[in-house]
Amino acid sequence: MARPDLSSAVLSVVIPVHNEVESVPVLWRELREVLVRLERRAEVVFVDDGSTDGSDKAIRDIVTSDPRARSVRLRTRSGLTAAFHAGYAAATGDVIVTLDGDLQSDPRDIPALLAELSHADAAIGWRRRRHDTMSKRLASRIANAVRRRVLGDSFRDSACSLRAMRRPCLAALPPYDGMHRFVPGLLTMNGFVVVEVPVTHRPRRHGRSKFGIVDRGVRASIDMLVVRWMRARRLRHEIEE
């Protein structure tokens, strides 16, 4: 099926933030340089997930200085899935790009993701070389292997937040906690074409990781079974007339 040309489409960049006051200004400078090179209309939606370290002020400073920047603030910390969905609801673009606010995602990878949308509905980052602790890398490797086995998909890095999607893809992402880890599988389950793109993963410069290995592993396992149930119970029918 032919896909509409998106070379001049409006771009929405959604960035969840929780206690990243030192990272936000640096990320904004990097992102501005990328947006200039893209030469297309763009907006950047920062979603403050109940930060307590002054990240909200850092975001407000950006919003007041540049009309492309907008902000959404969640009253209390609600989690990454909720932050993404709040950003999706606020975004107005035909193409949605997401990335983390902790500087481990490199905005310079965005053009490569967008280029893949000429023949796909979504482009998902693959962090081929992870700059995390050994325990976190091992946990991620195990989690991805188990997910591929249980869900039967071939994605190597399902939880990477650096993604580019055509707007219709948003309808396939259910508003339930934990679903941000399974975006590629959820999209393919709903008939969208998804490709993986190698992206840079940088060492954390400021702050600390917001996720614990054990608690995240338990929750992810439960969520994975939910996705498997959804896949098994999905309606399948063809209209003859």
CA–CA distance, 122 with 169 (Å, rounded to integer): 8
pLDDT in tens, 105-115: 999 999 999 99
227 or 70: whose pLDDT is higher? 70
DSSP class of 94: S
Return the CATH architecture of domain 11-132+156-208: Alpha-Beta Complex (3.90)
Q: How sure is the predictor about 159, in pLDDT bands with cuts at 50, 70 and 90? A: confident
CA–CA distance, 195 with 171 (Å, rounded to integer): 18
Q: Where are the domains of the chain?
A: 11-132+156-208
Q: Which of 171, 169, 145 is nearest to 157 (CA)?
A: 145
- pLDDT for 223: 72
CA–CA distance, 86 with 89 (Å, rounded to integer): 5
pLDDT in tens, 101-140: 999 999 999 999 999 999 999 999 998 877 666 666 666 6
Please determine, for residue 241, whether its predicted confidence score (pLDDT) is greater than 90: no
Mean pLDDT of the chain: 86
Give the DSSP H/E element, type plus range, for residue 81. helix 80-90
pLDDT in tens, 49-78: 999 999 999 999 999 999 999 999 999 999
Q: What is the mean pLDDT of residues 5-29?
A: 91
| Torsion angles phi and psi, residue 116, rounded to 5 | -70, -20
- pLDDT for 181: 87
CA–CA distance, 63 with 84 (Å, rounded to integer): 19
Please determine, for residue 227, whether its predicted confidence score (pLDDT) is greater than 80: no
Contact call for residues 37 and 111 (beta carbons, < 8 A) = yes
pLDDT in tens, 179-226: 898 899 999 989 999 999 999 998 877 766 655 555 566 677 777 676
- pLDDT for 133: 61
Q: What percent of the chain has pLDDT over 70?
A: 78
Please determine, for residue 43, whether its predicted confidence score (pLDDT) is greater than 90: yes
Contact call for residues 175 and 85 (beta carbons, < 8 A) = yes
